[in-house]
Amino acid sequence: MTNTIDDTSIRHTPADLPSKIQHYIGGKFVDSIDGDTFDVLDPVSNEVYLQAAAGKISDIDRAVEAAQKAFKDGPWPRMLPRERSRILHRIADIVESRDARLAELESFDSGLPITQALGQARRAAENFRFFADLIVAQADDTYKVPGRQINYVNRTPIGVAGLITPWNTPFMLESWKLGPALATGNTVVLKPAEFTPLSASLWAGIFEEAGLPEGVFNLVNGLGEDAGDALVKHPDVPLISFTGESSTGQLIFGNAAPYLKGLSMELGGKSPVIVFADADLEAAVDATIFGVFSLNGERCTAGSRILVERSIYDEFVERYAAQAKRVKVGYPHDPATEVGALVHPEHYDKVMSYIEIGKTEARLVAGGGRAEGFDQGNFVTPTVFADVSPDARIFQEEIFGPVVAITPFDTDDEALELANGVKYGLAAYVWTNDLKRSHNFAQAIDAGMVWLNSNNVRDLRTPFGGVKASGLGHEGGYRSIDFYTQQQAVHITLGEVHNPTFGKADSAKH
């Protein structure tokens, strides 16, 4: 049977959807100064379901002014870490208590499967809880130079942090920046992705309820080239934390350069999975299926290139293709759905064009186009290409959808060359039971994060970030605290003043 969007038994629209989304500036919901709005579509029907305020330079100016006022005159930067921590824990409690509603809205707006959106909502709460705990446990360095000096670090918040986020897991990624930026006492202006502004509009209510002082959190919706660009170029925003495409990161890097801003860049990826012949094949197949098809394949750390040792290659490809064909594409709200709808028709077109390119470059062994039974919306079948050569575009370029490239290798050296032979370096996954090889191989990979015999399971204390075109700087644990704070070194002399005297009176000759 062919599903159509009029079939209300399968298509779900959340109750009480807003019809418009405003900015949130200085504790108030406001329209854009010029009244402009942009359309927001739902990915199942691609119909416009709401209008969001389209922020421009003047709206960013207003938001930065409010954030600056809260930073200069408000209580937030001056509160004890424990006091801020209490509010952050309350935020986590509220997010947790509304996880079902958050997931419902996120899934509707982004096309993410509901079960995975629920997991992301819980992760968002955990991000707040983690930084709430960390800021209280935070210790700073003090150094003693015996008999001469004590030196200590005076850590302070920096000011107004500009946070710019993508659409793939909107609410969770916003929390990954909001948590540490707020925990450390900064005030913020958030510019969420224009494809998915719905869940971001909930932060204001959550923060008000948790007791965050007015002006500490500000939200400006809008297009990247307008609102995002204005935030990057605002002279009173000393920090930009950005997650998005590498090409956007490059642009932002250039635009922020004249202001010498602090930048944290979490960018694109084309992460390799290396499966050696001695690996636990069943676990490796399960992990690599999940690794590229979860979150609709719209995952920065997706293992989208699978390199398989030649002796198990044919068996791996066969098992992988068979399992990929069983992955359930469905409506985002259906708990049985494993791959939902891609976020937006523009992104759907991009992913589909890569699938067509792949058909000319490699052997298609599963999927290969629009999911059967879905006439409308952005539904793509999990797609698997085998025998992909390393110079193929589907091997080199980030597709950011449910599409994977499988390539054989003969030796460890060849596997390493293939793994490192792309411009990206975000994550890597290695499957082998050889202890020595796993560590040596992992350490030789150009990637910010490596998992051995594991899927992407995060420990929030570890550094998160990429190398090469995948990013600049690391967040995670204390590294996030470092990014969002100034560390002033204060030096105290205990002994005699170390003072080589220039121009001594008794040496002066008149």
- Residue ranges that bind ligand NAD, judged by CB under 6 A: 164-168, 173, 191, 193-194, 224-225, 228-229, 232, 243-245, 248, 251-252, 266-269, 300, 398, 400, 426, 466, 471
Question: Least distance in Å: CB of 153 to ligand NAD?
Answer: 28
**Is 361 tagged catalytic?**
no
| Residue 472, beta-bridge partner list | 265
Question: Least distance in Å: CB of 304 to ligand NAD?
Answer: 10
Nearer to ligand NAD, 197 or 382 (CB): 197
SS (H, E, C) 152-219: EEEEEECCEEEEECCCCCHHHHHHHHHHHHHHCCCEEEEECCCCCCCHHHHHHHHHHHHCCCCCCEEE
Which SS3 state, helix, strand or coil, does residue 329 take? strand
Question: Least distance in Å: CB of 349 to ligand NAD?
Answer: 13
Question: Least distance in Å: CB of 71 to ligand NAD?
Answer: 22
**Is 266 tagged catalytic?**
yes
Q: Is 447 exposed, middle or buried (0-12, 13-18, 19+ CB in 10 A)?
A: buried
Nearest 5°: phi and psi at 319? -65, -40
Catalytic, out of 104, 106, 266, 298: 266
Question: Least distance in Å: CB of 425 to ligand NAD?
Answer: 11
Both tokens of residue 316? 């791996």
Nearer to ligand NAD, 3 or 120 (CB): 120
| Residue 142, beta-bridge partner list | 152
Nearest 5°: phi and psi at 272? -90, 150
C-alpha span between 203 and 200 (Å, rounded):
6
Nearer to ligand NAD, 300 or 362 (CB): 300
- CB-based contact 11:206 (threshold 8 Å): no
| Of 387, 495, 475, 502, residue with least CA distance to 179 | 475
C-alpha span between 284 and 316 (Å, rounded):
9
| Of 268, 270, 271, residue with least CA distance to 430 | 271
Catalytic, out of 104, 126, 300, 338: 300
Cβ atoms within 10 Å of 182's Cβ, excluding its own: 27
Nearer to ligand NAD, 193 or 403 (CB): 193
| Of 325, 321, 324, 328, residue with least CA distance to 379 | 328
- Helices 99-110 + 114-137 axis angle, to 10: 120
CB closest to ligand NAD, residue no = 224
| Of 165, 138, 81, residue with least CA distance to 480 | 138
Nearer to ligand NAD, 220 or 371 (CB): 220
The torsion region of residue 182 among left (phi > 0), alpha (psi -120 to 50) and beta comes to: alpha
Nearer to ligand NAD, 104 or 266 (CB): 266
C-alpha span between 161 and 188 (Å, rounded):
5
Nearer to ligand NAD, 229 or 361 (CB): 229
Nearer to ligand NAD, 377 or 466 (CB): 466
Question: Least distance in Å: CB of 387 to ligand NAD?
Answer: 25
DSSP 228: I
- Looking at the annotation, which residues are catalytic? 266, 300
